[in-house]
Amino acid sequence: MCLGIPGQIVAVADAEAMLCVVDVSGVRRTVDVVCVAEPGAPLDDLVGAWVLVHVGFAMSRIDEEEAAATLKVLSEIGEAAVEMEALTQGSVELLSTPR
Amino acid sequence: MRFVDEFRDPALAAALVKEIGAIAARLERGRDRPFAIMEVCGGHTHAIFRYGLEGLLPDLVEFVHGPGCPVCVLPMGRVDDCVAIAERPEVIFTTFGDAMRVPGSKKSLLQAKADGADVRMVYSPLDALTLAKRNPDREVVFFGLGFETTMPSTALTVQRALREGVTNFSLFCNHITIIPTLRALLEQPDLGIDGFIGPGHVSMVIGTSPYRFIAEEFGRPLVVSGFEPIDLLQSLLMVLRQIEAGEARIENQYARVVPEHGNPAALRAVQEVYEPRETFEWRGLGSIAGSGVRLTAPYAAFDAEKRFAVPDIKVADPAQCRCGEVLTGAAKPWACPEFGKGCTPETPLGALMVSSEGSCAAYYQYGGIRGEAA
Ligand code: SF4
């Protein structure tokens, strides 16, 4: 829960509610992007960006290389599996359809 | 160097280890105990064990594993409070999976669930809010847990609940903040910590400036670090370089993720939704002034402690447990008489054995390098 996991923003789910769809190692879910959005800029600008996702919130923008390196460490210490399990089993609302 | 090969840059890792050894050799004279460098974050603890970093260090340098695992510092009585809320018939009690197995004085949340309480593991507080919207005739309570890394997520969820007019959602707020905790640690008279490796993801939220007092008032260096083994070695080297130069500064090794002033949107939400409690009880550490937070007046309607009569149970840890000393780095896990005997990951007595970030579980899983000899 503290380490989070990298993911890539693939779609805007609800711009007004500041929700985007993130792909985390092949699993998609809706996350809150208020902490990574540029104030005033359209959320579409975020599509394609890599972010660190903590408990359903995109908390920091990172580059692709950092995302890959972070994922590698998380896998090696066993946290990636724990995080993915929490994400897939604990998500009440996995993505249905991006707008 | 058994693990260095799997590092992203083995040559760099080897060079860092060599440089750490060289500094230790230069500092050796007149030194009667090792330089103790505390990594505050449980994620760092886990990485240190996984990559066998302790085994790469010279005898004169050691990691001390700090209190930065929020599950590990939950007192038993707090788990009892959770169980009391969860056992109310109208309540759906939601929590991160990490907290499910932490022992209370009678049962854990997992056992309460087996006994019929509606306890559900969720990935995100947003999922708890969704559950509340789907179950308007039930009371959905989220167990808010963690340092500043998870604090914005619950703050933003409470703000969302207010905006969306969801009234059957509340937060049992057990968030703790890192700065008062570090201060309490530093104020211990016999603290044998020479420097700190600062948490990466807490700092991503709060930035690096709040740590300045550690250098200015307590004369200890702190280097905010990433999670890769290379990051940790580099950060350790930065701390040792400061010690050698007789300096104490706050440095940021993880600048690729941690901005100096933190995350403004996250900090704004935290400031609006939370205010410090006078005092908050930690497992093994007693009460630390200002370390816990509660909801501010505008969000009081979402406070589970106001909505339900929370028993606020206080129970002492089992007498033979040494969780408190292990948490502050005063004792190693194997010094606890229960370690690996009465207390194992399957039958944990203390939370340090539950979470993969807890140092007892880490030593148990990976076999502490120096523990084997002890
Ligand atoms: S071994 Fe168990 S009881 Fe002893 S300090 Fe660790 S968690 Fe606490």
- Flag whether pLDDT at B371 surpasses 50: no
> Is A4's CB within 8 Å of B149's CB?
yes
High-pLDDT (> 90) share of chain B, %: 56
Substitution candidate for ligand 1 out of B65, B336, B344 with most atoms within 8 A of CB:
B336
Q: Which atom of ligand 1 is nearest to the CA of B354?
A: 7
Considering only CB atoms, B228 lies closest to which of A63, A69, A93, namely: A69
- Flag whether pLDDT at B315 surpasses 90: no
Nearest CA in chain A to B160: A17
Chain A residues within an 8 Å CB radius of B357: 2
B353 Cβ inside 6 Å of ligand 1 = yes
- β-partners of residue B169 are B140
**pLDDT tier for residue A1 given thresholds of 50, 70 and 90:** low
The structure tokens listed for A45 are 């600008």
> How does strand A19-24 pair with strand B139-146?
unpaired
Which ipTM was obtained for this model? 0.90
User: In this predicted structure, what is the pLDDT of residue A4?
Assistant: 86
User: In this predicted structure, what is the pLDDT of residue B3?
Assistant: 52
Q: Which atom of ligand 1 is nearest to the CA of B364?
A: 1
* Ligand 1 center to B255 CA (angstroms): 35
B47 Cβ inside 6 Å of ligand 1 = no
Give the number of other Cβ atoms within 10 Å of residue B36's Cβ.
15
Chain A residues within an 8 Å CB radius of B257: 52, 60, 62, 66
Which carries the bigger pLDDT value, residue B224 or residue B323?
B224
Substitution candidate for ligand 1 out of B327, B344, B349 with most atoms within 8 A of CB:
B349
Place of tokens 């990490």: B98
Domains and CATH numbers, chain A: 5-89 (2.30.30.140)
Mean pLDDT of B265-287: 90
Chain B residues within an 8 Å CB radius of A86: 96-97, 121, 123
Give the number of other Cβ atoms within 10 Å of residue B260's Cβ.
12
User: In this predicted structure, what is the pLDDT of residue A2?
Assistant: 67
Q: Which atom of ligand 1 is nearest to the CA of B331?
A: 5
B362 Cβ inside 6 Å of ligand 1 = no
| Candidates B123, B134, B233, B364, partner chain A, best to mutate (most A CBs within 10 A) | B123
Which amino acid appears at position B354 of this protein? V
Domain B76-177+261-308: give its CATH code: 3.40.50.11740
Closest CA to A8 of A29, A19, A18, A23: A23
Please list, in sequence order, all residues whose beta carbon lies within 8 angstroms of the beta carbon of residue A54, skipping any fewer than 6 positions away: A1, A2, A4, B149, B150, B153, B201
A and B: number of Cβ contacts within 8 A? 129
Provide the greatest CA pair distance for chain A.
39
pLDDT in tens, B27-59: 988 788 899 999 988 889 888 988 889 889 999
CA distances from B266 to B50, B163, B203, B243, B293 (A): 31, 17, 12, 33, 15
φ/ψ bin of A25: left (φ > 0), alpha (ψ from -120 to 50), beta (otherwise): left
The structure tokens listed for A88 are 């897939």
Class of domain B5-70+179-251: alpha beta
Domain ranges across chain B: 5-70+179-251, 76-177+261-308, 323-366
Least confident of A85-94, B16-25, B91-100, B293-302: A85-94
Asked if domains B5-70+179-251 and B76-177+261-308 share a fold, the reply is yes
High-pLDDT (> 70) share of chain B, %: 96
Least confident of A90-94, B157-161, B187-191: A90-94
- Flag whether pLDDT at A80 surpasses 50: yes
Question: What b-and-e string marks burial along B289-309, b requiring 16 or more CB atoms within 10 Å of the CB?
Answer: ebbbbbbeeebeebbbbebbe
CA angle, B150 then B155 then B159, to 5°: 150
Q: Virtual CA dihedral for B163, B144, B307, B75, nearest 10 degrees? A: -170
Chain B residues within an 8 Å CB radius of A76: 6, 50-51
> Is A1's CB within 8 Å of B147's CB?
no
Least confident of A46-60, B252-266, B308-322, B331-345: B308-322
